[in-house]
Amino acid sequence: MDKSIRIIPISSLADQLAAVDVARNYSESLLDGMHRPLRDLRISVTDRCNLRCTYCMPREIFDHEHAFLPRAELLSFEEIERITRLFIRFGVQKIRLTGGEPLLRHGIEQLIEKLSRLQTVEGKPLEIALTTNGVLLARKARALRDAGLARVTVSLDGLSEATFRHMSDSRVPVGMVLESIAAAQAVGFAPVKVNMVLKRGVNDHEIVPMAEHFRNSGIILRFIEYMDVGSSNGWRMDDVVTAKEVHERIRRHYPLQAVEPGYPGEVAERWRYMDGSGEIGLIASVTQAFCHECTRARLSTDGKLYTCLFATAFGADLREAIRRGGSDRELTSLIADCWAQRNDRYSLLRHTTTEASGEKIEMSYIGG
Ligand code: SAM
């Protein structure tokens, strides 16, 4: 259980109804400045991680002196549930729990259980997904599934010990992550997705071995272009291995055929092996920005609402509003105003602004 002791203001029935009205007035028409609806919410449940991936939480910065958020600053499960309920009224269909490493959040199963009871405005179950580095997944897979988690994505940047150690800057054996992937499949997650971030000269020699390893497994391997998230990873365009290049390299070994997107706005370009041995995804987050289709809001570990992964500032402080006793109606208006004012399209502008983009928020805090 989430044991932090805190007074949660319970909204009255009248307030809840007023909030529903505010949402209803907006929901049909709630579009941002680029006519994008609000459909996904990513929630960072902790800013801590048990790996130190060099491109995400480099050890030089996230060391023993780094000030992670104290427990009282984190949104409680009740606060997360309340915020999620309000988001649903605007048409949110899917929640992704992330971090940091979400499985480090004590009692995460209880949060999933709460969220999985919620329904979308159409009365369908809310889809709950989770992204993890897999270190703790083998032992938690069954409980997560039983709690109502629908989908799991595991990050894995290499198969050899040397590459994995280099990317994750840890002593975790790669076999531990592979066991977790197998455990996730064994308890019924289907399909399990595996995300591989590519950094030129560091792990791109493992593109084909990874493809080979996950063919015929039912697992969807997705290659992600390394992005200039945050301000600590020293990103350079030269380090990016493009989706086009990945496609070329794999195609030489295993012919590929394009697959239609599973749903509008799907960020991964889907390709299937022509011999029927499975499917891969290519996420061209840098070279083919998908800002125009981005329907995601992000909730930081301490309850700030961000409207872009590359944000330099938050759009609304929902935790502050909750803890001073703000009503559902007020929170609903905050969310709506924030989304209505959204005009982010950072990835489309990246080539002109990278140099001058200022201090960006770290992914561990805002949620990857
Ligand atoms: N700890 C969990 C994990 O490892 O999956 C969840 C959080 S992590 C920030 C989420 C995803 O973001 C991981 O797949 C990670 O590889 C990816 N990621 C982090 N920094 C990135 C970057 N600079 N470019 C592209 N992907 C990145």
* 246-256 pLDDT per residue, tens: 999 999 999 99
* Residue 352 scores a pLDDT above 60: no
DSSP 64-90: TT--PPPGGGSPPHHHHHHHHHHHHTT
Which tens digit of pLDDT belongs to each residue from 157-202? Answer: 999 999 999 999 999 999 999 999 999 999 999 999 999 999 999 9
Centroid of ligand 1 to alpha carbon of 326 (angstroms): 33
> Length of the chain, please?
368
* Residue 106 scores a pLDDT above 50: yes
Centroid of ligand 1 to alpha carbon of 56 (angstroms): 7
Decide: 99 in ligand 1 pocket, CB within 6 A: yes
Of all residues in the chain, the percent with pLDDT exceeding 90 is 78
Task: Band the pLDDT of 4: cuts 50, 70, 90.
Answer: very low
| The ligand 1 atom nearest the CA atom of 285 | 25
| The ligand 1 atom nearest the CA atom of 101 | 1
Decide: 98 in ligand 1 pocket, CB within 6 A: yes
Mean pLDDT of 320-326: 98
Residue nearest atom 19 in ligand 1 by C-alpha distance: 56
Residue nearest atom 5 in ligand 1 by C-alpha distance: 132
Element (H, E) at 229: none
SS3 163: helix
Of all residues in the chain, the percent with pLDDT exceeding 70 is 93
Average pLDDT, the chain: 91
Which tens digit of pLDDT belongs to each residue from 264-309? Answer: 778 999 999 999 999 999 999 999 988 889 999 999 999 999 999 9
- Alpha carbon distance 256, 272 (integer Å): 5
Mutate to test the pocket of ligand 1, among 97, 131, 132 (most ligand atoms within 8 A of CB): 131
Residue nearest atom 14 in ligand 1 by C-alpha distance: 155
* Residue 112 Cα distances to 98, 138, 255, angstroms: 12, 17, 39
Residue nearest atom 23 in ligand 1 by C-alpha distance: 227
The token duo for 152 is 């799991």
- Alpha carbon distance 182, 190 (integer Å): 11
* Residue 179 Cα distances to 135, 154, 158, 161, 339, angstroms: 9, 11, 14, 14, 40
Task: Band the pLDDT of 355: cuts 50, 70, 90.
Answer: low
Which tens digit of pLDDT belongs to each residue from 307-316? Answer: 999 888 899 9
Which tens digit of pLDDT belongs to each residue from 356-368? Answer: 556 778 888 877 7
Mean pLDDT of 128-153: 98
| The ligand 1 atom nearest the CA atom of 99 | 7
Element (H, E) at 20: helix 13-27
Residue nearest atom 13 in ligand 1 by C-alpha distance: 155
* Residue 6 scores a pLDDT above 80: no
- Alpha carbon distance 97, 41 (integer Å): 9
pLDDT for position 351: 55
Mean pLDDT of 26-36: 82
Task: Band the pLDDT of 353: cuts 50, 70, 90.
Answer: very low
pLDDT for position 229: 83
Centroid of ligand 1 to alpha carbon of 99 (angstroms): 9
Decide: 233 in ligand 1 pocket, CB within 6 A: yes
Residue type, 19: A
Mean pLDDT of 9-19: 73
Phi-psi region of 65 (alpha: psi -120 to 50; beta: other; left: phi over 0): alpha
**Measured in Å, how far apart are the chain's first and last C-alpha atoms?**
24
* Residue 27 scores a pLDDT above 70: no
